[in-house]
Structure 1
Amino acid sequence: MASSIVVRIKDAFWSRITLGILTGGIALTCPESLPSWLLLTLCCPEWVSSLAKSTLYQRIVLSVYTLCVTLGLDLGFMCLWWCCAALRNTRVSPSGISFAGKSLKLDNNDDAKDVIEAIDNCSDLQYLNLEGNTLGVDASKGIAKALENHPEFKRALWKDLFTGRMKTEIPKALEYLGNGLVTAGARLTELDLSDNAFGPIGVQGLAELLKSSSCYALEELRLNNNGLGITGGKLLASALTDCYNCSKSKGKPLALKVFIAGRNRLENDGAKALAQVFKMVGTLEEISMPQNGIYHPGISALSDAFTHNKNLQVLNLNDNTIGPKGAEAIASAMPNLQNLREINFGDCLLKTKGALLLAESLKNFHQNLEELTLGFNEIKKNGGIGIVEAMANKSKLKQLILDGNQFGEQGQEEIKKKLKEIGKLHTLGSLEENESEDSEEDTDDENVDDESEEHSEIEHSEKENDVIEVPPSIPTTITVEEFLKTPSSNNFLALGNDRIDLIFRYVKEHQDIADYMKVLMKVSTLSNDTKPEVADSSLKCSEFLYKDLFTMAQKNDQTSLVNNSILVNLGLIKNEDKKEKIAWDLDGCLHALKYIASKNYVPQSTKDTLKVFMKREIDNNKDQLGIKKQIWSTLS
């Protein structure tokens, strides 16, 4: 009878009991902490609510209640005192469900049965991690239905969730999942949809969720490697703007803290659209937008937005073309960003002029700076010395990355000497790829900006208006067999928008590892193509093929054969069949390998094998040393 009554007690009642018990217990056991405890309960009521919902906690309270009734108030009160003392050093971790890395193919409700049951059986579903599985539309309906019963849901960890799905499936699946959260009345704090190649079409399915009340409390948005493009970037910005305005009208505007959108080809127009969102929000602590093809017009718009986010702590614009003119805009913003801990402007073509501008902006302040990455920027000795001098007063500095610049041997030694003088030599990373300093000065600094302006004008003539159209599908004009005979960038594009699906179906008909690997090499050789749409699509297709190949190999106990085939096709060991010759550019293949090297789906034996052979290549001073060093570093 007593237990059935307890089952019907509402969460609010349990929360009040919890608050009373803990407050009384702390007053008895640790009275000096009582003011802090009361402040905590006022600021973090969800902590008390979370504890109150714990089945274990409720059993403890029931036991104490029974003792009170059976043995008398005094003994019962002593038991309460003991419980509170035990809870003083107890941390309550968020609860949830993880199916990460299971490689489940969830096509329908039957396939998703285990996931749905786990959701139904979880009394406090704070997070759901589905990373590394593949979700279809019908299965998403069942999962969404289960989520409808969890208003406490906060963290949607759904990266790498749509491998092998048609682009038309993804927005529908996202729409169902979003509707489930809206029906539940959930308030997300984190949404991670990285490594899902849904493009602008997928953003349309995501937009309804982003505009809904379920995202009014969103703090972390992770959309890395989604192929958004300019159109997707604008759609995303529009959805976030609606979310901000709607949440503001309800009394508490969107307070986003983390925004991650690397490898999305946002370019200048996409960056400008998102810059308006950043300026409006003003609460960002981390912005990471590497590899987006952004030139100085987009960098300038972002820099202006950064000044409105004074608590910005992590800023990553790696592998965009900042150039000297973009560096000038960033330098102007720096005085407003005194909380920065990490800055990554690696591979941004800063040149010496840009480095000196940045150094001057960092010189006198920014006491919280811990990491500064400026590798591969064609910076000469004077720029390097300027950066080092700016680090003299950075007491928290842990890492300074300057590799891949043009200091020359003498400049390298001067930089080390200067760092030693200021007591910061231990922060300096490797300088193995330091190049010789050209005799001519940086006369091409301005050309970088001129080229970027020209590039920007040619790239887009899109007019700013309220209607954003999704580009039409590219028809398929050749077969996979024809592409493999001549694996050029034009032929790759001629496979159409569904090229990844077409190639995957082809390799599934050719299960032989040797044939599979040849297809993979001919696709991955385009991963560093000069055409962004070719490079991005090639890299995504390569990753998909690698993942499927490793899954198949582990299932059939053929990992060692796959490892050997990788080594042969990358020219790291000789092929026993001397008639077989490598007919693809290895630079692109190695670029794709570097990208997947650290992924969880790569078997440890493969990583160990590659590490050994990459080290051998480096020691023997073989070709493609730069990329091989990067692969070895990733694996180390």
Structure 2
Amino acid sequence: MASDDIAELVDSLSNTHVGDGELSFKGLGLKLDNAESVEELVQEIEQCQDLRALRLEGNTLGVEAAVAIAQALESKHRLQSCYWSDLFTGRLRFEIPKALESLSSGIMMAGARLTVLDLSDNAFGPDGVRGIQQLLKSPTCHTLKELRLNNCGMGIGGGKILAEALMECHRSSVTAGSALKLRIFVAGRNRLENEGASALAKAFQLMGSLEEVHMPQNGINYAGVIALASAMRHNPDLRVLNLNDNTFTKRGTLAMAQALGHLRNVQVINFGDCLVRCEGAIALAAVLREGLPILKELNLSFGEIKEAAALVVAQAVMDKPYMEKVDLNGNFLGEDGCEGLREAMESQDKAVMLASLSDDEGEPDDDDDDDDDDNDEGEAAANDDCCNGEEFGKENGLLAKEDSPSKCHCPDEVLSFVACPSAEKLLQLGEMTRHLLPEVDMTNPHKAADVLLKVASLYSEKPVIQTTVLETCDMLLRKLLSGSAFQAYTFLSTLLVLMGILQGEGKTKKVPLVAGQLLCLEHAVQQDYFAQHHAYLLHIVLSKNRNALNLCSSSMERLSSALEKRCLDQH
């Protein structure tokens, strides 16, 4: 090593921070190629008798230098924190796993018990994960609390290797008598996609100890999101969930909303740039209304959310005592929608919590459909029946054994009515109308809404028909709205989509809209089973989409009047 290089290294090391057991070489820009180049650094490590944290960020480490450092670490059994981000700039890909294996070996030889491992901003790919695989499986990581692997290019393969290592670590730690309790997991910008995310979800569910999960920009769509949602339900201490810039769409958002309903400690939700859209936003609003008591921040920016759904979200956060920020920027509100949202927040003295709306995308064209390239793997077709049937129920925790469609036997008369409804058939059903209840069991909101609209379409001024239709609608709606807010909002948003009032995803076939359907809703909103917040949801969506009901203007006015009265009763 040239004398001027040694002098430069000595000068750099003079800036090393030592204290409280931390030895820091952070940001020195050292080029550490071989054993000679790290002599002074190794000496500092060896002389630090109580080494607990080693910071090597912002340098570049070769294989030989890593071996020398590893040997120095073999005696540092008190080491707890390894901050090794941005450590391999300019290194060949095959060098990085070898360097990581050496460093891992030194720590394991020492019998150290790590709490923090940060290898972010090292583009090491799946091979890099293999380099730390044995470390992660070893007793050294039984005590790990923070794992940071942001921007490492792990890919699907790396995600699977990482998941397997974490699960093995958990299993061996349980056997050893003290389970792994990882609290913070960071793995943004890693191209994990669905397979990598789903593999990690299994590890998350097994551990059940996560407090922060950061996985933005990983190319995950609804299939991976559903897997992560299921895992989050098993992590009751979760405080921060950041999945920014993945692709939820409706199916993923519904699953995630349902999972959040089981969590009480979440403070920060970042679903920005995730294509949450209107139905998803309404489902999240339901969970906000009933749960998430200490939420502080909600990011639903750039999600193709329209004004009505944004207002429903805003209303749901009004009473959150710890709420500090709600971000709805970059959506489809339009100038009037932005102003309406600001006014709604100001009316409740909550204007300060609303983030800037400066990047709003404006109102989309009326003929825009939400079945673009983001409906991966045929999601647009799947959404024609709103994630139909038992699959939706299982994904979202709605399916009860006693309500399972496979366990219900419907009389032929009822099946005939559902297939081809008529007032005559409805009257002939008599007491058998109760057999319509299994047809609206909430495992399939689309089917439930379709059945309700079929009944309501038979509304007539003839007293006997009118009474039968209204009583049947009451029976169905009493069940549909008696569950959780999530179930009720999911049903109501689906109903509004079928009626052509709210834009949904995919090529959903709208039902022929008739005045009787609106008149049945007018009757329903005045009943005890129809909660005021359900009325608010209908009122805000209808008021922002009145042109969808131009053909039934008289009935629309009656329904609007009933909704306004019910909403005013709330205050």
Change (3 A) 1:157 1:332: same
Per the TM alignment, residue 453 of structure 1 is displaced from its structure 2 partner at its CA by 4.8
Equivalent AA in structure 1 for residue 313 of structure 2: I
- State the partner residue of 1:366: 292
Change (3 A) 1:380 1:403: same
1:111 match: secondary structure:
helix
The alignment status of 1:412 with 2:412, answered yes or no, reads no
Verify the 8 A CA contact 2:371 2:380 in the aligned structure 1. Answer: no
Q: Distance in 1 between matches of 2:368 and 2:55?
A: 49
Verify the 8 A CA contact 1:351 1:445 in the aligned structure 2. Answer: no
The alignment status of 1:239 with 2:154, answered yes or no, reads no
- State the partner residue of 1:351: 277
Equivalent AA in structure 1 for residue 134 of structure 2: E
How do residues 462-481 of structure 1 correspond to structure 2 at under 5 angstroms? none
Per the TM alignment, residue 454 of structure 1 is displaced from its structure 2 partner at its CA by 9.1
- State the partner residue of 1:391: 317
Tell me how large the CA RMSD over aligned residues is: 2.0
Q: Residues 249-268 of structure 1, C-alpha deviation per residue, up to 9 Å, x if partnerless?
A: 10011110001100000000
Residue of structure 2 aligned with 1:341, choices 267, 270, 279: 267
Per the TM alignment, residue 422 of structure 1 is displaced from its structure 2 partner at its CA by 2.3
The alignment status of 1:141 with 2:35, answered yes or no, reads no
Change (3 A) 1:140 1:448: closer
Q: Distance in 1 between matches of 2:45 and 2:277?
A: 53
Q: Residues 84-132 of structure 1, C-alpha deviation per residue, up to 9 Å, x if partnerless?
A: xxxxxxxxx8421111111100001121122211111112111001101
The alignment status of 1:176 with 2:98, answered yes or no, reads no
Equivalent AA in structure 1 for residue 275 of structure 2: L
Per the TM alignment, residue 448 of structure 1 is displaced from its structure 2 partner at its CA by 4.2
Equivalent AA in structure 2 for residue 262 of structure 1: G
1:97 match: secondary structure:
strand
Taking structure 2 as the reference length, what is the TM-score of the superposition? 0.62
- State the partner residue of 1:157: 83
The alignment status of 1:322 with 2:248, answered yes or no, reads yes
Q: Distance in 2 between matches of 1:441 and 1:278?
A: 41
Per the TM alignment, residue 365 of structure 1 is displaced from its structure 2 partner at its CA by 2.2
Q: Distance in 1 between matches of 2:160 and 2:91?
A: 24
Verify the 8 A CA contact 2:63 2:96 in the aligned structure 1. Answer: yes
Q: Distance in 2 between matches of 1:248 and 1:429?
A: 44
Per the TM alignment, residue 455 of structure 1 is displaced from its structure 2 partner at its CA by 13
Q: Distance in 2 between matches of 1:124 and 1:235?
A: 33
Q: Residues 58-90 of structure 1, C-alpha deviation per residue, up to 9 Å, x if partnerless?
A: xxxxxxxxxxxxxxxxxxxxxxxxxxxxxxxxx
- State the partner residue of 2:30: 104
Q: Distance in 2 between matches of 1:332 and 1:97?
A: 45
2:37 match: secondary structure:
coil
- Unaligned 5+ segments in structure 2 are 1-18, 383-571
Equivalent AA in structure 1 for residue 254 of structure 2: E
How do residues 539-618 of structure 1 correspond to structure 2 at under 5 angstroms? none
Residue of structure 1 aligned with 2:150, choices 202, 205, 224: 224
Bigger shift: residues 441-450 or 99-108: 441-450
How do residues 398-437 of structure 1 correspond to structure 2 at under 5 angstroms? 398-437=324-363
Change (3 A) 1:413 1:228: same
- State the partner residue of 2:56: 130
Verify the 8 A CA contact 1:278 1:305 in the aligned structure 2. Answer: yes
How do residues 248-327 of structure 1 correspond to structure 2 at under 5 angstroms? 248-327=174-253
Change (3 A) 1:281 1:94: farther
Query: Percent identity, aligned pairs only?
Result: 48
Verify the 8 A CA contact 2:221 2:376 in the aligned structure 1. Answer: no
Q: Distance in 1 between matches of 2:40 and 2:319?
A: 55
Per the TM alignment, residue 452 of structure 1 is displaced from its structure 2 partner at its CA by 6.3
- State the partner residue of 1:630: none
Q: Residues 196-238 of structure 1, C-alpha deviation per residue, up to 9 Å, x if partnerless?
A: 0110111111101101111010010000000000011001111
1:287 match: secondary structure:
strand
Equivalent AA in structure 2 for residue 169 of structure 1: E
Equivalent AA in structure 2 for residue 354 of structure 1: G
Change (3 A) 1:454 1:250: farther
Change (3 A) 1:326 1:441: farther
Q: Distance in 1 between matches of 2:380 and 2:153?
A: 24
Per the TM alignment, residue 429 of structure 1 is displaced from its structure 2 partner at its CA by 1.4
- Unaligned 5+ segments in structure 1 are 1-92, 457-636
Equivalent AA in structure 2 for residue 177 of structure 1: L
Q: Distance in 2 between matches of 1:155 and 1:367?
A: 33
Q: Residues 481-510 of structure 1, C-alpha deviation per residue, up to 9 Å, x if partnerless?
A: xxxxxxxxxxxxxxxxxxxxxxxxxxxxxx
Bigger shift: residues 152-161 or 330-339: 330-339
Verify the 8 A CA contact 1:141 1:173 in the aligned structure 2. Answer: yes
Taking structure 1 as the reference length, what is the TM-score of the superposition? 0.56
| Runs of 4+ with deviation above 2 angstroms | 438-443, 445-456
Change (3 A) 1:136 1:363: same
2:177 match: secondary structure:
coil
Verify the 8 A CA contact 2:329 2:355 in the aligned structure 1. Answer: yes
| Higher relative contact order, chain-length normalized (CA < 8 Å, sep 6+) | 2
- State the partner residue of 2:44: 118
- State the partner residue of 1:517: none
Equivalent AA in structure 2 for residue 243 of structure 1: C
Verify the 8 A CA contact 1:106 1:134 in the aligned structure 2. Answer: yes
